[in-house]
A = this chain, B = another copy of it.
Amino acid sequence: MVTAENKQVVLERYIEGAPKETDMAMKMGKIELKAPKGSGGILVKNLYLSCDPYMRGRMRDFHGSYIPPFVLSQAIEGFGVAKVLDSDNPDFKPGDFISGLTGWEEYSLIRSTWQLRKIQPDHSIPLSYHLGLLGMPGFTAYAGFYEICSPKNGEYVFVSAASGAVGQLVGQLAKLHGCYVVGSAGSSQKVDLLKNKLGFDEAFNYKEETDLDAALKRYFPEGIDIYFDNVGGAILDAALLNMRIHGRIAVCGMVSLHSISDTKGIHNLYCVVPKRIRMQGFLQSDYLQKFPQFLEHVTENFKHGKIVYIEDMNEGLETAPAAFVGLFSGRNIGKQVICVAKD
């Protein structure tokens, strides 16, 4: 039986506000590179790991959410792409590539395999894209845009955190749908990418705007039909003032962090009445029956060069804590991924 060293990133303590690097620690363990008989599990080598904002929720000692907290001192759980080394499950065989929930470690024994997805290797699609463009963030963009926003050709669409893992695909889907799309981001480099690589009609750096309401009026003189909200807080408040009648707001993500650091609150909710705004929170997991349709739509457009995707790839498991923490200050440019091993 082969036993290997297994470097891990573990959660040291539960957090209250924003995560810090020191809330996590590197730990060296050992693992048998074997799926135990009768376990129904698979033993995988992790190749790429995903840093996603929702994971902050699992770092809190709070059991009332849709997903339980991480277990302290164990490898952090997250989406990853991995290669099967050994299998006690007839659906998987050594050499298969999978994506799904795995551990922040070099090797993982995955016992719960029902939500794993087998990846058919395709030289034209990087494996790591199954954590972003073709993974949970991409599907979040797809489900949020098509299932929540009820988009129509020619509508005015605003996307915040627009160069992020979700936002960049929302904007491109909206363009393919015939919408006019403006994105906001937190640096001039990101604004550049939005306009010159991701095909947004316009983009602006919200950190350079002293009056977000005025900025939105400048970019949307006719108002906003659809706001895809990845940030909450002051940008949401300004967007409410600029929505058109029967506008829709899809509330996607990192709102919770903002609500912790931002004590100002939302003041313009009254706009939802005269403007008949529909504002809707969603989780991609409620729409998984549409996943095959999503994969087909996005893969096809990607292969025809109609969709691109920007990744921020860090090398080495030990870079994961800093990369994860960086998400919340916008340090990443595009989808944050950690490369643990290339194959």
Q: Which A residues have a C-beta under 8 Å from some C-beta of B? A: 57, 65-66, 232, 236, 245, 251-253, 255-256, 258-259, 263-283, 286
Contacts and interface: CB of A to CB of B under 8 A. Distances in A.
A303 to B, nearest CB: 32
Given A265-B265, A265-B267, 9 more contacts: A255-B269, A255-B270, A263-B267, A269-B269, A276-B281, A276-B283, A277-B280, A277-B281, A278-B279
A272 B280 contact: yes
A65 B270 CA distance: 12
Nearest to A243: B281
Contacts of A283: 273-274, 276
B266 A251 contact: no
Nearest to A262: B267
Contact of A281 (B57, B259, B275): B275
A185 to B, nearest CB: 21
B274 A66 contact: yes
B232 A270 contact: yes
A256 B281 contact: no
A117 to B, nearest CB: 23
A57 B267 CA distance: 18
Nearest to A252: B273
A280 B282 contact: no
Contacts of A255: 269-270, 272-273
A230 to B, nearest CB: 11
Q: A57, A66, A252 — which one has the most chain B CB atoms within 10 A of its CB? A: A66
Nearest to A277: B281
Contacts of A281: 271-278
A282 B273 contact: yes
A281 B279 CA distance: 9
Nearest to A251: B272
Given A265-B266, A265-B267, A278-B280, A273 B259 contact: no
Contacts of A57: 274
A52 to B, nearest CB: 13
A238 B270 CA distance: 16
Q: A256, A280, A286 — which one has the most chain B CB atoms within 10 A of its CB? A: A280
A249 to B, nearest CB: 9
B276 A269 contact: no
Given A280-B278, A281-B275, A259 B270 contact: yes
Contacts of A258: 270
Contacts of A236: 269
Contacts of A66: 245, 274
A253 B276 CA distance: 11
Nearest to A266: B266
27 contacts: A57-B274, A66-B245, A66-B274, A236-B269, A251-B272, A251-B273, A252-B273, A253-B273, A255-B270, A255-B273, A256-B274, A259-B270, A265-B265, A265-B266, A265-B267, A266-B266, A266-B267, A272-B279, A272-B280, A272-B281, A273-B282, A274-B283, A276-B280, A276-B282, A277-B281, A278-B279, A278-B280
